[in-house]
């Protein structure tokens, strides 16, 4: 029996659970830093842009700066993945946290438009670009890291748990935003309380960096290093030459992942406040429930992907997400009392995204896995994650159901792409 078969057959050990916990916790803290911005989009819009600007344009500009964090992700991701494939997964995993913590802390210290004029939104944009470069290396690196630590038959569960960890970062953001809106009045939030979540995020980042000191290099990378089987040329060159099909599938599935997270979880609280005039605290409480359900959904989807294969999980999950999104957006305006249960169910079905990283990890051989996954994931997030907030905001001008139409359309893309997913584990795990 080959050593890889023995490794695949073993159960999950205490060390595996420790690795998964530390990776998920670090991911949660870093993702909090990346998304806390969106929960204060309305306040930031008022403080960082000219007061005479129309409301819709200010929201569009603010979401535009939020989106800039996505656009720059490929650059950060490609550079970190390149060194991650050549120097080791762990080093890049720790570096990405430092690159996230510093700009988050600085956003909390930035002067506003009233103080420095046009320089304020430009500095904010620069901080978002730095954050985007960091998260571009973090998420793909984390998936590769955990999947290479566990036996291959647990790849889905490991990626599902890590994705749940990232969504706990969103939950943390939602809780902090809810707490802040409960303790402070809207005027006090604008007066300076909006800074606290960013300062807290900087502290979280340095805490996560300290935690990562206890992680070990992945067995897969260590074995490749020992056998001198690391990529002999630039890993990305090999990916673009030999794995174009895997790149295409990965890009389209990441589009579905980004649409579910960005529209249903990140944008919806602000949209509910704008469209249906539901107060900030109510929308954030509902968002907290939806995000908690999303975390459970990710773990369930990952576990099912190991049992049934990722293809049927993504097919069924995409269909359920499309139905839940339609029911949620068409009902909540006339029945605001149903906001919480409807949002929770929709959040649970967004959990289908927990099965996506399993496909991405298995699509590329170990020598170029980090680069292949990172390139596909980040290019997709740059194009679709970056354009989604802008497209949805523009669709809203014509139809309040714009967000629902967008998510349903992307779910259809996810279902079609799932047909091209090959079940089974990549030989080079």
Assign 364 to helix, strand or coil: coil
- Give the confidence band of 127 by pLDDT, cuts at 50, 70, 90: very high
Stretch 424-428: mean pLDDT: 44
CA distance 131 to 259: 20
Q: Which residues contact 135 (CB under 8 A, 6 or more apart)?
A: 30, 31, 34, 69, 73, 76, 96, 100
- Give the confidence band of 3 by pLDDT, cuts at 50, 70, 90: very low
Q: Is the pLDDT of residue 426 over 50?
A: no
Q: Is the pLDDT of residue 417 over 60?
A: yes
DSSP symbols for 285-305: HHHHHHHHHHHHHHHHHHHHH
Q: What is the pLDDT of residues 332-365, one digit of tens each?
A: 888 988 999 999 999 999 999 999 999 999 888 8
Give the per-residue pLDDT at 427.
38
CA distance 147 to 363: 12
CA distance 386 to 327: 26
Give the per-residue pLDDT at 7.
52
Q: What is the pLDDT of residues 10-20, one digit of tens each?
A: 788 888 888 88
Q: Which residues contact 66 (CB under 8 A, 6 or more apart)?
A: 37, 38, 41, 128, 389
Q: What is the pLDDT of residues 199-217, one digit of tens each?
A: 999 988 888 788 777 767 6
Q: What is the pLDDT of residues 158-178, one digit of tens each?
A: 999 999 998 898 888 888 988
CA distance 407 to 170: 19
* Closest by CA position to 167, among listed 348, 305, 382, 363: 348
- Give the confidence band of 6 by pLDDT, cuts at 50, 70, 90: very low
**Stated pTM of the model:** 0.82
Q: Which residue has the higher pLDDT, 377 or 55?
A: 377
Assign 84 to helix, strand or coil: helix
* Closest by CA position to 193, among listed 39, 49, 69, 56: 39
Stretch 302-312: mean pLDDT: 94
Quote the percentage of the chain above a pLDDT of 90. 36
Stretch 401-422: mean pLDDT: 92
Q: Domains in the chain, ordered, with CATH?
A: 15-418 (1.20.1250.20)
Q: Which residue has the higher pLDDT, 229 or 320?
A: 320
CA distance 182 to 348: 26
Q: Is the pLDDT of residue 238 over 60?
A: yes
């Amino acid at each position: 029996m080959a050593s890889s078969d023995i490794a695949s057959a073993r159960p999950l050990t205490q060390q595996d659970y420790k690795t998964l916990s530390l990776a998920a916790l670090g991911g949660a803290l870093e993702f909090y830093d990346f998304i806390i911005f969106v929960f204060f989009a309305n306040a930031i819009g008022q403080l960082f842009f000219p007061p005479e600007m129309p409301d819709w344009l200010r929201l569009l500009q603010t979401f535009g700066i939020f989106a800039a964090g996505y656009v720059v992700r490929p650059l950060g991701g490609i550079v970190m993945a390149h060194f991650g494939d050549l120097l080791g997964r762990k080093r890049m995993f720790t570096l990405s946290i430092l690159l996230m913590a510093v700009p988050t802390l600085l956003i909390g210290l930035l002067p506003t438009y009233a103080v420095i004029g046009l320089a304020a939104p430009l500095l904010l944009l620069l901080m978002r670009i730095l954050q985007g470069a960091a998260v571009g290396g973090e998420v793909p690196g984390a998936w590769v890291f955990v999947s290479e630590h566990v036996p291959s038959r647990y790849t889905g569960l490991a990626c599902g748990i890590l994705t749940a960890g990232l969504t706990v970062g969103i939950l943390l953001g939602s809780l902090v935003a809810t707490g802040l809106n409960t303790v402070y009045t809207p005027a006090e939030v604008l007066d300076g309380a909006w800074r606290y979540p960013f300062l807290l995020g900087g502290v979280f980042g340095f805490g996560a960096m300290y935690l990562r000191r206890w992680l070990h290099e992945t067995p897969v990378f260590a074995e490749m290093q020992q056998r001198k089987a690391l990529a002999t040329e630039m890993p990305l060159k090999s990916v673009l030459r030999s794995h174009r099909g895997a790149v295409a599938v990965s890009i389209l599935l990441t589009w579905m992942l980004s649409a579910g997270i960005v529209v249903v979880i990140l944008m919806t609280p602000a949209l509910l406040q704008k469209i249906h005039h539901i107060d900030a605290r109510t929308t954030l409480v509902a968002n907290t429930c939806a995000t908690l359900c999303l975390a459970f959904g990710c773990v369930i989807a990952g576990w099912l992907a190991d049992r049934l294969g990722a293809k049927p999980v993504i097919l069924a999950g995409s269909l359920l997400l499309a139905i839940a999104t339609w029911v949620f957006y068409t009902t909540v305006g006339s029945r605001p009392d149903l906001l919480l249960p409807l949002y929770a169910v929709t959040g649970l079905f967004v959990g289908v995204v927990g099965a996506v990283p399993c496909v991405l990890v298995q699509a590329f051989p170990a020598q170029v896995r980090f680069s292949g996954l990172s390139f596909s994931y980040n290019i997709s997030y740059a194009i679709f994650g970056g354009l989604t907030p802008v497209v949805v905001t523009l669709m809203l001008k014509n139809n309040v159901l714009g967000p629902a139409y967008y998510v349903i359309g992307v779910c259809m893309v996810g279902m079609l792409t799932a047909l091209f997913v090959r079940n089974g584990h990549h030989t080079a795990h």
